A = this chain, B = another copy of it.
Amino acid sequence: MFTVKTPEETFSVIEAEFRPFLPAETVSLSECCGRILAEDILSSEYVPGFTRSTVDGYAVKASDTFGCSDSIPALLTLSGEILMGEEASVPLTPGCCFAVPTGGAVPEGADAVVMIEYTENYGDGMIGIEKPASPGMNMIYKGDDLVPGKTVLPAGRRITVSDIGALASLGITRIPVRRRLLAGIISTGDELVPVEETPEGGQIRDVNTHMLDALCREMGMDTRLYGIVNDQAELLSAVLEKAIAECDLVLISGGSSVGARDAASAVIEKHGSILFHGIAMKPGKPTILGKAGNKPVFGLPGHPVAAFFITKLYVRHAAAVLTGADYAVRTTPAILTEALSTNHGRSETLGVRLSEQDGKLYAAPVHTKSGLISALAGTDGYITISRDCEGLPAGAAVNVSFYSVN
């Protein structure tokens, strides 16, 4: 029997044993979405860079409009029109106004903009203001949003679309990010055949190569696929050695139970050290975590559902540690649709389908006794029942984690 770690201990071991080691590289705005920032991004500018109007109207001194109304408009001299992309050539003087478009520069001396709807142009060089303005009205001041030196985005952040907007607005077009993690993926098992082939008696298709490839790429990694390797120690040893040399992180799926033909554990030990063998969770108990130099080597269970959840939970965490990335798992409360029985000392992770009824969100667990991945297809997220839990009744409040992270 192997000694097992709890899920919490597994996260701690990963944090204690591994460190960020991926070098930084520079990418363009169109390449940076989803990448991990290697440095803090500071503003080098005022944003906005000039004081601007948020409406189409007239820039005024607010004090010139106090007390005016529909029936007694304030009469101001039109000093000119400010066009988009231009500045006023002269400051605003008392008793005067400038026409400004939405987004246009507000001239020096003005402290409010009156919307065009509340004005009348008499056509003789005079503008009637029919509603009083308060100072600051319909304006955005230079530096309202950012001033030089302010941190816009912290190192470790996974760059989002709105972050790209912020970078573009600052003119930051070369973005320092961590190199993508390269994950090596190996499937082991004498029973495996390539997915294109029809399995014969006792054989099954190699699901994990394709699923782990997609999963790692969805998590922002590049992948290198080493295909199916028989459960023979010499063969597996040669492929693992190559994968460790070429990649930043290696996933071997299959061959990690205590069964007679399982070679993964011995082979991982040969090329590094084993940090633990076994996590007290279901599915996924026979997971191995090894370390070769500074690189994690995961021995994942062959069952696709187990391999899926172990990768979602722990490989993702290792990848975050190696890249120095922050990530947050997004969750939502929901109501369990059926009772779930006890766990006998193992935490249990199950895929769920979400549905809304009468404004309430329900989570229907998908049972994967079988370990067959098609049961997971169509699920919206997952729940984890802690090892201390004695089971949950139908109607219990659960917290559903979504698959994608922010």
Name A's B-contacting residues (CB within 8 A): 29-30, 33, 43, 47-50, 54, 56, 82-87, 101-105, 140, 144-146, 152-153, 157, 160-171, 173, 189-192, 195-199, 201-211, 213-215, 217-218, 231, 257-261, 302-304, 308, 328, 330-333, 351, 354, 369-380, 402-404, 406
Contact = CB atoms under 8 A, between A and B. Distances in A.
B377 A162 contact: yes
Contact of A403 (B48, B189, B209, B406): B406
Contact of A210 (B152, B168, B190, B204): B168
Given A103-B189, A103-B302, A105-B202, 5 more contacts: A103-B191, A140-B369, A163-B378, A165-B211, A165-B373
Contact of A168 (B104, B198, B211, B257): B211
Contacts of A190: 83-85
Contacts of A160: 377, 403
A53 B403 CA distance: 29
Given A103-B302, A372-B48, A173 B201 contact: no
B49 A191 contact: no
A5 to B, nearest CB: 20
A374 to B, nearest CB: 4
A257 B56 contact: yes
Contacts of A171: 195-198, 205
A205 B403 CA distance: 35
B102 A161 contact: no
Interface centre among A203, A208, A373, A374 (most CB of B within 10 A): A374
A376 B166 contact: yes
A258 B55 CA distance: 10
B211 A161 contact: yes
A240 B197 CA distance: 49
Contact of A47 (B203, B213, B372): B372
Interface of A is mostly: loop
Nearest to A195: B168
Given A56-B257, A260-B101, A373 B162 contact: yes
20 contacts: A33-B214, A49-B204, A54-B369, A56-B257, A83-B202, A84-B189, A87-B202, A102-B259, A104-B202, A152-B377, A160-B377, A164-B214, A165-B210, A168-B205, A168-B209, A168-B211, A169-B304, A171-B205, A330-B402, A402-B402
Contacts of A207: 165, 168-169
Copies of this protein chain in the complex: 2
A218 B33 contact: yes
A389 B370 CA distance: 49
B50 A201 contact: yes
A223 to B, nearest CB: 9
Contacts of A377: 152-153, 160, 162-163, 165-166
B86 A166 contact: no
A306 B212 CA distance: 38
A169 B205 contact: yes
- Candidate in A29, A43, A208, A261 with the most chain B CB atoms within 10 angstroms: A29
B261 A144 contact: no
Nearest to A99: B260
A199 B140 CA distance: 17
A331 B332 contact: yes
Contacts of A308: 161-162, 165
Contacts of A173: 195-196
A211 B162 contact: yes
A170 B207 CA distance: 9
Contacts of A168: 195, 205-207, 209-211, 373
A249 to B, nearest CB: 17
A26 B206 CA distance: 21
